[in-house]
Amino acid sequence: MEKVTAVTDFWNDSQRAQDVMRDLTRLRGQVSVWESLSKHLSDTLELAELGDDELYDELAHEVEALQREVNDLEFRALFAGQYDQEDAILAIHAGAGGTEAQDWAQMLQRMFIRWAETHQFKVEILDTSAGDEAGIKSCLMSFKGDYVYGRLKSERGVHRLVRISPYDSSSRRHTSFAKVEVWPDVAEDIEVEIDEKDLRIDRFRASGAGGQHVQKNETAVRLTHYPTGIVVSCQNQRSLTQNMQVAMSILKSQLFDLERRKQEAEMNALKGEDVDAGWGNQIRSYVLHPYKMVKDHRTNHEVGNAQAVLDGRLDDFMEAFLRYKVGQPA
């Protein structure tokens, strides 16, 4: 690939050149990790071969550092999916239950934002539908970073919350549901044809905080794809053109992911495996009363510190899910 980039007419096709450079940067990053580990290992072995007791503490420190590097690489090896290294689009939809469910949807939004910030991933809220009294009815977010889709794909499904409701004057226990959808952000890498007849385009004013933030022009856009019923809205970009481009990109990614999952479901049916459950079955429960616990019902991984999870500590659940998938029969 480096030889390809050195050809004089390489940049004549700018789109192809950008794709090659993006892939090359990714591969260089992967190679550099292994080269760094190899050098660290050689240096540590040389230190051990000196046989100097006074260097024991330093040697122990280096071995611990090597163990952490190896553990991290072992975790990366779990990303076996074709699109695991891609960026991701994540959507949250409040379930039935009015204010309770809408508040829960906003709690999940905060949880994913905190998780992204912990890893220094770039997160952007593309669209939000505010709740009637509190919370949100739905939101659409973009995540960019190292193997973001491979990590976030574990979150696809229904999330269940059990707690004493802050909106119930009788302080009764409530159960709320919210649905999370995740798909790889691969619109730039795929060819998806969308017939104009199959598309409805609505333009509207973007909502804002009031005052100078309220848009006076119709810059927000909503796309409805008739054959699939997919609806995509985007209002957080500065212009109608930018919102349209983002919305079309997301629609293409969703259509691609829909077809991909349909093919996977057909293969699973042929192999006699269960297809993922839909809206009715939760993948994870977050219990805040009468005890505190978060449990993933697919992997049985659970933790007692529910608040830490709601503050974005999701990596253990993601790793458990990846190991669970690797352990499935071929």
Residue 277 in this model has a pLDDT that exceeds 60? no
Q: What's the pLDDT band for 280 if we cut at 50, 70, 90? A: low
Residue 275 in this model has a pLDDT that exceeds 50? no
Q: What angle do CA 198, 201, 205 make, to 5 degrees?
A: 165
Quick check: is 190 in a domain?
no
Rounded Cα gap, residues 53 and 320, in angstroms: 40
List own/partner pairs for 161-169 with CB under 8 A and 24 or more apart: 161/104, 161/107, 161/285, 161/286, 161/288, 162/285, 162/286, 162/287, 162/288, 162/289, 163/287, 163/288, 163/289, 164/288, 164/289, 165/100, 166/103, 167/99, 167/100, 167/103, 167/133, 167/134
**What digits encode the pLDDT tens for the residues 29-55?**
889 989 999 999 999 999 999 988 888
Single out the residue in 76, 104, 139 at which a domain terminates.
76
Pairing of strands 157-164, 282-287: parallel
249/316 same-domain check: no
Quick check: is 59 in a domain?
yes
Quick check: is 239 in a domain?
yes
Residue 147 CB coordination number (10 Å) = 19
What is the rounded average pLDDT for all residues in the chain? 86
Q: Which of 126, 179, 116, 186 is nearest to 148 (CA)?
A: 116
15/141 same-domain check: no
58/12 same-domain check: yes
Residue 270 in this model has a pLDDT that exceeds 70? no
Rounded Cα gap, residues 134 and 101, in angstroms: 10
207/133 same-domain check: no
Residue 1 in this model has a pLDDT that exceeds 60? yes
Segment among 177-181, 187-191, 314-318 with least mean pLDDT: 187-191
**Does the global pTM surpass 0.85?**
no
Quick check: is 44 in a domain?
yes
For residue 315, give the CATH number of its domain: 3.30.70.1660
Q: Which helix (H) or strand (E) holds 117?
A: helix 99-118
Residue 330 in this model has a pLDDT that exceeds 50? no
Give the total residue count for the chain. Answer: 330
Single out the residue in 34, 55, 76 at which a domain terminates.
76
Q: For residue 78, give the 3-state DSSP assignment.
A: coil
Rounded Cα gap, residues 150 and 221, in angstroms: 29
6/66 same-domain check: yes
- Residues near 44 by beta carbon (within 8 Å), at least 6 away in sequence: 59, 62, 63, 66
For residue 256, give the CATH number of its domain: 3.30.160.20
93/135 same-domain check: yes
200/112 same-domain check: no
Residue 144 CB coordination number (10 Å) = 14
234/254 same-domain check: yes
Rounded Cα gap, residues 215 and 218, in angstroms: 7
List own/partner pairs for 306-312 with CB under 8 A and 24 or more apart: 309/111, 310/107, 310/110, 310/111, 310/286, 311/111, 311/114, 312/111, 312/112, 312/113, 312/114, 312/115, 312/116, 312/117, 312/118
Name the E strands within the chain.
Answer: 88-94, 122-130, 136-144, 157-164, 173-184, 199-204, 220-225, 230-234, 282-287, 293-296, 302-303
96/152 same-domain check: yes
Residue 25 in this model has a pLDDT that exceeds 80? yes
Quick check: is 275 in a domain?
no
Two tokens, residue 46: 């040389």
Single out the residue in 241, 268, 295 at which a domain terminates.
268
Q: For residue 142, give the 3-state DSSP assignment.
A: strand
What whole-number percentage of the chain has pLDDT above 70?
90
Q: For residue 190, give the 3-state DSSP assignment.
A: coil
Residue 307 in this model has a pLDDT that exceeds 50? yes
Number of domains forming the structure of the chain: 3
Range of the domain at 220: 196-268
| Cα 50 to the center of its chain, rounded Å | 47
The pLDDT value given to residue 155: 96
Quick check: is 297 in a domain?
yes
98/163 same-domain check: yes
114/246 same-domain check: no
**What digits encode the pLDDT tens for the residues 197-237?**
999 999 988 765 444 444 556 788 999 999 999 999 898 88
Quick check: is 273 in a domain?
no
Residue 101 CB coordination number (10 Å) = 23
106/19 same-domain check: no
